Amino acid sequence: MKTLQILCIMAIALSSISMQGQSGLRPPGDVNCDWEVNIADVNTLVDSILHGAQYDPFYSYATDVNHDKEINIDDISLLIHALQGEALPPMPSYSGTLPVLYINTEGHHDINSKEEYIHADWWLDAMGIEGVQPLGTPDEPLGMLIKGRGNYTWERSDKKPYRIKLDTKQSLLGMKKNRHFCLLAHDFWSNPVGFELSRRIGLAYTPAQEPVEVVLNGIYAGLYFITEKIRVGKHRVNVTEQQNGETDEGLITGGWLIEIDGHVDKNQFFILEDDGEVLPVKYHSPDSLSDEQMDYIYNLISQTDKAINEVSDSVWEKYIDLDTLACFYIVNEVVDDIESFKGSLYLHKHRGDSTKLLFGPVWDFGCAFGRLDYETPCFLYENTDDVYKPYWLEKLVQSGQFQEVVRKHWRQFYPSRMETMESYIDSLINRISLASEADRMRWPGQYWSRLESQNEYYKMRMREKVKFLNEQWGSQQ
Do residues 192 and 163 share a domain?
yes
Quick check: is 237 in a domain? Answer: no
Look up the domain containing 350 and give its range.
256-414+457-473
Do residues 55 and 108 share a domain?
no
Phi/psi at 68 (5° precision): -100, 10
Quick check: is 249 in a domain? Answer: no
Quick check: is 120 in a domain? Answer: yes
Number of domains in the chain: 3
Do residues 222 and 320 share a domain?
no
Do residues 156 and 207 share a domain?
yes
Contact criterion met (CB below 8 Å) for 146 and 120: yes
Do residues 305 and 215 share a domain?
no
Q: How far is CA 172 from CA 32, 92, 131, 144, 242, in A?
A: 31, 25, 12, 13, 27
pTM comes to 0.91
Do residues 219 and 285 share a domain?
no
Q: Of 211, 228, 245, which one is at a domain's C-terminal end?
A: 228
Do residues 114 and 192 share a domain?
yes
- pLDDT of 303: 94
Measure the CA–CA gap between 156 and 143, rounded to whole angstroms: 29
Give 19's DSSP letter: E
Quick check: is 233 in a domain? Answer: no
Nearest to 283 by CA among 261, 304, 268, 300: 268
Q: DSSP labels for 208-256?
A: -EEEEEEEETTEEEEEEEEEEPP-BSTTSB-SPPPPTT---TTTTT--E
Quick check: is 438 in a domain? Answer: no
Do residues 282 and 343 share a domain?
yes
Q: Of 228, 243, 273, which one is at a domain's C-terminal end?
A: 228
Do residues 260 and 379 share a domain?
yes
Helical (H) or strand (E) element with 258: strand 256-260
Digit-by-digit pLDDT tens for the chain (477 residues) are 444 454 444 444 433 333 343 468 888 888 888 888 889 989 888 888 888 777 777 777 778 888 888 888 999 999 998 888 888 888 889 999 999 999 999 988 889 999 999 999 999 999 999 999 999 999 999 999 999 998 888 888 889 999 999 999 999 999 999 999 999 999 999 999 999 999 999 999 999 999 999 999 999 999 999 999 999 999 999 999 999 999 999 999 999 999 998 888 889 999 998 777 899 999 999 999 999 999 999 999 999 999 998 866 667 889 999 999 999 999 999 999 999 998 889 999 999 999 999 999 999 999 998 876 667 899 999 877 777 788 999 999 998 999 999 999 999 999 999 999 999 999 999 999 999 999 999 998 777 778 999 999 999 999 999 999 999 998 654
Do residues 305 and 349 share a domain?
yes
Quick check: is 31 in a domain? Answer: yes
Do residues 67 and 105 share a domain?
no
Do residues 217 and 323 share a domain?
no
Quick check: is 222 in a domain? Answer: yes
Quick check: is 430 in a domain? Answer: no
